[in-house]
């Protein structure tokens, strides 16, 4: 029996996980300014070509590393909308409540709206979170847990907008209590009968 490891590139999922772990370590140890594609490739052993297949640039990779592990969608949905939404909000808030998360938020607040950093935040954090929320709401509708929303995009803005407002404005704390209140209020709105 041959126990030798297969040669060639690791599977894309394994390479992605190694890259995210390396990027997260660099982000936490050295800060956003030190996170480059080259640094992640050197630390993770994942080739730059593979990194660029997954992320457009170092900013996108930094955002993905920061929110790695955020449960964008709760598997199965059997726990119900409130539990799934609360878990997502808690993890999202926790990512940006870290020292590095706050530093990224401050950088975002001062960044040009069309900068790579801002685009990465929009694509990797805001839009990904909203799409995960859309899935949670659609699944809850299919289960009969909530009535079909009249205008889902506006509701998604109402649910996720406060998180990103606090991230960027920094006027109030990002903490678990805020995440829980936000999820509870969102479910109250979503379970109200349509007019």
Element (H, E) at 187: helix 176-191
- C-beta pairs of 124-129 under 8 Å, 24+ apart in sequence: 124/60, 124/63, 124/64, 124/67, 125/63, 125/66, 125/67, 125/92, 125/164, 126/160, 126/164, 128/67, 128/72, 129/70, 129/72, 129/88, 129/92, 129/160, 129/163
Cβ proximity of 40 and 20 under 8 Å:
no
pLDDT value, residue 11: 52
pLDDT value, residue 102: 80
For residue 71, give the nearest of 117, 24, 2, 136 by alpha carbon. 136
> What domains lie within the chain, and their CATH numbers?
11-67 (1.10.10.60), 81-191 (1.10.357.10)
Alpha-carbon distance of 127 to 167, in angstroms, equals: 15
What is the block-wise mean pLDDT of the chain (195 residues), using blocks of 10 residues? 50 86 89 90 95 90 78 58 91 84 78 83 86 93 92 92 88 92 93 76
pLDDT value, residue 86: 93
Cβ proximity of 62 and 56 under 8 Å:
no
pLDDT value, residue 126: 86
């Amino acid at each position: 029996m041959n126990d030798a490891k297969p040669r060639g590139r690791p599977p894309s999922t394994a390479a992605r996980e190694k890259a995210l772990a390396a990027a997260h370590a660099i982000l936490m140890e050295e800060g956003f300014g030190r996170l480059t594609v080259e640094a992640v490739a050197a630390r993770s052993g994942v080739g730059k070509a593979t990194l660029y297949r997954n992320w457009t640039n170092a900013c996108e990779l930094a955002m993905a590393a920061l929110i790695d592990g955020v449960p964008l969608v709760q598997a199965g949905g059997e726990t119900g909308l409130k539990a799934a939404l609360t878990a997502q909000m808690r993890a999202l808030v926790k990512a940006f409540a870290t020292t590095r998360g706050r530093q990224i938020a401050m950088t975002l607040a001062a960044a040009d709206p069309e900068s790579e950093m801002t685009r990465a935040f929009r694509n990797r954090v805001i839009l990904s979170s909203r799409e995960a929320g859309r899935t949670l709401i659609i699944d809850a509708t299919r289960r009969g847990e909530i009535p079909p929303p009249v205008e889902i995009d506006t509701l998604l803005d109402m649910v996720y907008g406060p998180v990103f407002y606090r991230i960027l404005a920094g006027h109030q704390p990002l903490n678990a209590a805020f995440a829980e209140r936000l999820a509870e209020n969102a479910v109250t709105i979503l379970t109200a009968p349509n007019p």
